[in-house]
Structure 1
Amino acid sequence: MSMTRTNMHGPFDGRSHQPLLDEEQQGRMSTGGFGYGDAEGRPMLHHSRRSTMRSKSPDALAKHQTRQKYFIASGFLLLSLASFVVQTETAVYIQHDLGWDKPYCMLYFTHGSWFLLWPIQLLLLRIQKRKLSWEAFWRRHVYMLRTTGQMVESQNLHLTPDNGRSPIPYLLKTTAFVTSALTVAGGSWYVAVNQTTPSDLTAIYNCSAFFAYAFSIPLLKEKLRFDKVFSVGVAIVGVLVVAYGDRDDGNKGEKHEGGSRLLGNLIIGIGSVLYGLYEVLYKRFACPPEGTSAGRSMIFANTFGSLIGSFTLLVLWIPLPVFHFLGLETFRWPTGEAAWMLMISVAANATFSGSFLVLISLTSPVLSSVASLLTIFLVAIVDWFRTGQPLSMASIIGGVLIMIAFFLLSWSTYREMNEERKKKIQQDDVESESDE
Structure 2
Amino acid sequence: MSSTTSSVTPQLGGLAGVALFLVTVLAFVAESQLTQYVQTDLHYHKPFFIFYLVHSALAITFPLHLLYLSVTSKHSIAAILRGLRIAISNHLSPDTGSGSKTFPYPRFLWLVLLLTFGITCPSILWFAAISLASVSDVTAIWNTNAFFAYLITVQVFKLQWEARKLIAVVIATLGVAVVVYGGVTSGGEATSGIIEISSVPSAPVVGSILTLVASIGYGLYQVLYKMYAALPSDPEAKQHTPYQPIPDDGEIAAENEEYAVHHPPLGLHADLLTSLIGVATFLVLWIFIPVLHKTGVETFRWPSDRHTVLSIVAIALTGVVFNAGLMMLLSIWGPIITSVGNLLSIVVVVIYEVIFGDGLATLTVWSLLGCGVIVLAFGVLAYDMFTQQPSE
TM-score band by shorter chain is 0.7 to 0.9
- Compared CA separation, residues 256 and 342, structure 1 to 2 (3 A): closer
Amino acid at match of 1:414: F
Kept in 1, the 8 Å contact 2:11–2:385? The answer is: no
Give matches, 1:52-201, under 5 Å.
69-129=13-73, 137-154=76-93, 160=97, 164-201=101-138
CA distance in structure 2 between the aligned counterparts of 1:310 and 1:255, rounded to whole angstroms: 37
CA distance in structure 2 between the aligned counterparts of 1:214 and 1:225, rounded to whole angstroms: 11
Tell me what 1:58 maps to. Answer: none
Tell me what 1:266 maps to. Answer: 209
Question: In terms of mean alpha carbon deviation, does 283-292 or 158-167 score higher?
Answer: 158-167
Give matches, 1:229-248, under 5 Å.
229-248=166-185
For structure 1, the residue ranges without an aligned partner over 5 or more in a row are: 1-64, 426-436
TM-superposed deviation, 1:382: 2.4
Tell me what 2:144 maps to. Answer: 207
Tell me what 1:282 maps to. Answer: 225
| Root mean square deviation, CA, Å | 2.7
CA distance in structure 2 between the aligned counterparts of 1:150 and 1:397, rounded to whole angstroms: 48
CA distance in structure 1 between the aligned counterparts of 2:333 and 2:325, rounded to whole angstroms: 12
For residue 362 of structure 2, give the secondary structure of its aligned residue in structure 1.
coil
Per-residue Cα deviation, 1:243-278 (whole angstroms, up to 9, x for no partner): 322231661548679xx6544433222111100011
Q: 273, 276, 280: which one pairs with 1:311?
A: 280
Kept in 2, the 8 Å contact 1:188–1:267? The answer is: yes
TM-superposed deviation, 1:191: 3.0
For residue 318 of structure 1, give the secondary structure of its aligned residue in structure 2.
helix
Kept in 2, the 8 Å contact 1:227–1:412? The answer is: no
Kept in 2, the 8 Å contact 1:178–1:281? The answer is: no
CA distance in structure 1 between the aligned counterparts of 2:104 and 2:187, rounded to whole angstroms: 52
Per-residue Cα deviation, 1:297-340 (whole angstroms, up to 9, x for no partner): 51111111111111111111121111112222222222311111
CA distance in structure 2 between the aligned counterparts of 1:352 and 1:195, rounded to whole angstroms: 23
TM-superposed deviation, 1:97: 2.6
- Compared CA separation, residues 179 and 383, structure 1 to 2 (3 A): farther
CA distance in structure 1 between the aligned counterparts of 2:80 and 2:42, rounded to whole angstroms: 43
Tell me what 1:382 maps to. Answer: 352
TM-score under structure 1 length normalisation: 0.72
Kept in 1, the 8 Å contact 2:48–2:127? The answer is: yes
Question: In terms of mean alpha carbon deviation, does 348-357 or 215-224 score higher?
Answer: 215-224
> Higher Cα Rg: structure 1 or 2?
1
Tell me what 1:398 maps to. Answer: 370
TM-superposed deviation, 1:397: 1.6
Kept in 1, the 8 Å contact 2:90–2:98? The answer is: no
Question: In terms of mean alpha carbon deviation, does 272-281 or 137-146 score higher?
Answer: 137-146
Q: Does 1:415 align with 2:381?
A: no
CA distance in structure 2 between the aligned counterparts of 1:66 and 1:285, rounded to whole angstroms: 16
Per-residue Cα deviation, 1:59-108 (whole angstroms, up to 9, x for no partner): xxxxxx966x2422101011112222332333233223322222111111
CA distance in structure 2 between the aligned counterparts of 1:189 and 1:291, rounded to whole angstroms: 30
Query: Greater relative contact order: 1 or 2 (C-alpha under 8 angstroms, separation 6 or more)?
Result: 2
More helix by share: 1
CA distance in structure 2 between the aligned counterparts of 1:338 and 1:385, rounded to whole angstroms: 26
Percent of pairs with identical residues: 29
- Compared CA separation, residues 221 and 119, structure 1 to 2 (3 A): farther
Q: Does 1:341 align with 2:278?
A: no
Per-residue Cα deviation, 1:96-147 (whole angstroms, up to 9, x for no partner): 3322222111111111111100000011111124x77xxxx34313212211
- Compared CA separation, residues 222 and 397, structure 1 to 2 (3 A): same
Kept in 2, the 8 Å contact 1:85–1:375? The answer is: yes
- Compared CA separation, residues 211 and 151, structure 1 to 2 (3 A): farther
Kept in 2, the 8 Å contact 1:114–1:306? The answer is: yes
Tell me what 1:352 maps to. Answer: 322
CA distance in structure 2 between the aligned counterparts of 1:170 and 1:77, rounded to whole angstroms: 30
Q: Does 1:361 align with 2:361?
A: no
Kept in 1, the 8 Å contact 2:143–2:343? The answer is: yes
- Compared CA separation, residues 311 and 220, structure 1 to 2 (3 A): farther
For residue 330 of structure 1, give the secondary structure of its aligned residue in structure 2.
coil
Kept in 2, the 8 Å contact 1:241–1:397? The answer is: yes
TM-score under structure 2 length normalisation: 0.80
CA distance in structure 2 between the aligned counterparts of 1:254 and 1:363, rounded to whole angstroms: 37
Kept in 2, the 8 Å contact 1:150–1:164? The answer is: no
CA distance in structure 2 between the aligned counterparts of 1:327 and 1:66, rounded to whole angstroms: 47
Tell me what 2:195 maps to. Answer: none
Amino acid at match of 2:217: L
TM-superposed deviation, 1:415: 1.9
Tell me what 2:255 maps to. Answer: none
CA distance in structure 1 between the aligned counterparts of 2:329 and 2:295, rounded to whole angstroms: 39
Amino acid at match of 1:351: V
Amino acid at match of 1:236: T
Per-residue Cα deviation, 1:142-187 (whole angstroms, up to 9, x for no partner): 2122112123324x6x972685531332222112122212111111
Tell me what 2:269 maps to. Answer: 300
Kept in 1, the 8 Å contact 2:69–2:77? The answer is: no
